[in-house]
Amino acid sequence: MLARRTGHFVESVIRDMTRLSLKHNAINLAQGFPDFPAPLLLKQAAANAIMENFNQYSITWGAKDLRDEISRKAREYNHIEADPETEITVTCGSTEAMMASMLALINEGDEVVVFEPFYENYGPDAAVSGAVPSFVPLNDDNSIDEDTLESAFNRKTRVIILNTPNNPCGKVFTRRELKMIADLCVDNDVIAVTDEIYEYILYDNKKHISIGSLDDMKERTITISGFSKTYSVIGWRIGYALAEKNLTSAIRKVHDFLTVGAPAPLQHACVTALKFPDSYYRELASMYDGKRRFLHRALIKSGFKCKMPEGAYYVLADIPEGTGMDDMAFAKYMVSEVGVAAVPGSSFYKSEEGKHKLRFTFSKKDETLQEAAKRLAHLNA
């Protein structure tokens, strides 16, 4: 009775872990949502927008004042020129931007190159749009094996999905790597769909580079970002896609019939967000840097092996040796016996690699992380 496409993926394991976490009264380091408040100015801007009557549909592809601000931000921060009238679509989160892009680009059977580990949505995005994913594992040090990447491209390849900074491993793609990917896109007539939702959450002086700003890539890139992570408003569901006008016109058609539009009053509040001073972004990264170091240290002390992420707000950790449990069993043990929820690594891998890993988020208050560290310490007791 059901469409075959729904058989190709399961419900989100991340959100499932959140439910388990609530059941066991555990500290939820599974789902990447802040447990601290959104900036007061933004909350006021949202309340004002409702009181000022921005309560009906906005233009389907986004309120004009928001598209104008996104265009300015894209020019200044991403070095991408995007015409607000024809090259920007405001969506219900970057989640919708990604799905609408895939539906706009993919014909049944087209191949999509995806780096592994990957954000768990990309599998279902491929399944719903009819794409066949081709996974390219990153090396142990998160570098790219150029030969493996090159051999993933063939005549059926239509799209490569990028995510920088990466969830779950925290990799920030370098200009050299992006140039290599851009060359492959040009040579194989492939579109890069790039999820840059963590573009402001970077550590150790890493720089965010958008592949859409590289030579010859403007016409073949869809750049996706949103407000959820940078402004700690993941429940607002405002994201966007930047793309050359023919691509945008297809994305807008899909977007219109999927959702009509993103929440109008919150789009107005997001204009205020884009006017925050540079210091806001410096403080955001520095706040997360402290949390990153704290969680990393706590995990190492408790017997996990893990690298410091270069960006985003997750640590991907190897399960301590000798537990005899795979990622699923260990995640369940952690949530019920240790009182800390994490995401089983296999949510981010097609290969067996994920079975030895858990992902923890540090987008939490310091008190929450301190309590988690206390509980994690029992693992080594």
Ligand X SMILES: Cc1ncc(COP(=O)(O)O)c(C=O)c1O
Kindly indicate which of the ranges 89-97, 126-134, 329-337, 341-349 contains the residues binding ligand X, using the contact rule CB under 6 A. Answer: 89-97
Rule CB under 6 A: say whether 368 interacts with ligand X. no
DSSP per residue over 207-276, as a string? ----GGGSTTTGGGEEEEEESTTTTT-TTT-EEEEE--HHHHHHHHHHHHHHHS-S-HHHHHHHHHHHT-
Rule CB under 6 A: say whether 28 interacts with ligand X. no
1 with 335: CB under 8 angstroms? no
32 vs 62 by CB, closer to ligand X: 32
- Of 240, 190, 192, 236, which is closest to residue 214 (Cα–Cα)? 192
Rule CB under 6 A: say whether 123 interacts with ligand X. no
Residue keyed to tokens 């990917």: 181
What separation, in Å, do the N-terminal and C-terminal C-alpha atoms of the chain show? Answer: 52
According to CB under 6 A, which one of 30, 32, 295, 319 is a site residue for ligand X? 32
- 167's torsion region: left (phi>0), alpha (psi -120 to 50) or beta? beta
According to CB under 6 A, which one of 61, 77, 119, 200 is a site residue for ligand X? 119
Q: How many CA atoms lie within 13 A of 8 on its CB side?
A: 16
- Of 303, 270, 317, 267, which is closest to residue 377 (Cα–Cα)? 303
Rule CB under 6 A: say whether 347 interacts with ligand X. no
32 vs 133 by CB, closer to ligand X: 32
According to CB under 6 A, which one of 105, 234, 269, 372 is a site residue for ligand X? 234
Rule CB under 6 A: say whether 34 interacts with ligand X. no
User: Mask 183-222, x = binds ligand X (CB under 6 A)?
Assistant: ------------x-x-------------------------
User: Mask 316-345, x = binds ligand X (CB under 6 A)?
Assistant: ------------------------------
DSSP per residue over 66-93, as a string? HHHHHHHHIIIII-----TTTSEEEEEH
Characterize the bridge pairing of strands 132-137 and 157-163. unpaired
34 vs 338 by CB, closer to ligand X: 34
Query: Whole-number minimum distance, CB 361 to ligand X, in Å?
Result: 9
Rule CB under 6 A: say whether 262 interacts with ligand X. no
According to CB under 6 A, which one of 78, 89, 95, 221 is a site residue for ligand X? 95
113 vs 338 by CB, closer to ligand X: 113
119 vs 330 by CB, closer to ligand X: 119
How far apart CA 175 and CA 190 sit, in angstroms, is 19
Rule CB under 6 A: say whether 361 interacts with ligand X. no
How far apart CA 266 and CA 345 sit, in angstroms, is 34
Query: Whole-number minimum distance, CB 218 to ligand X, in Å?
Result: 22
Residue 36 has phi, psi (to 5 degrees) of -110, 160
What's the DSSP call for residue 137?
E
Query: Whole-number minimum distance, CB 210 to ligand X, in Å?
Result: 15
What's the DSSP call for residue 298?
H
Query: Whole-number minimum distance, CB 234 to ligand X, in Å?
Result: 5
Q: 235-254: which residues touch ligand X (CB under 6 A)?
A: 239
| 118, two tokens | 């990957």
- Amino acid at position 265, single letter: P
194 vs 368 by CB, closer to ligand X: 194
Residue keyed to tokens 């995990």: 299
Helix (H) or strand (E) holding 247: helix 245-259
Kindly indicate which of the ranges 44-52, 76-84, 92-100, 101-109 contains the residues binding ligand X, using the contact rule CB under 6 A. Answer: 92-100
34 vs 265 by CB, closer to ligand X: 34
Rule CB under 6 A: say whether 142 interacts with ligand X. no
Query: Whole-number minimum distance, CB 242 to ligand X, in Å?
Result: 14
Residue keyed to tokens 């609530």: 22
Rule CB under 6 A: say whether 263 interacts with ligand X. no
- How far CA 292 is from CA of 32, 167, 309, 342, in Å, comes to 13, 14, 8, 15
Q: Which residue is nearest to ligand X (CB)?
A: 93
Rule CB under 6 A: say whether 349 interacts with ligand X. no
Binding site for ligand X (CB under 6 A): 32, 93-95, 119, 163, 167, 195, 197, 226, 228, 234, 239
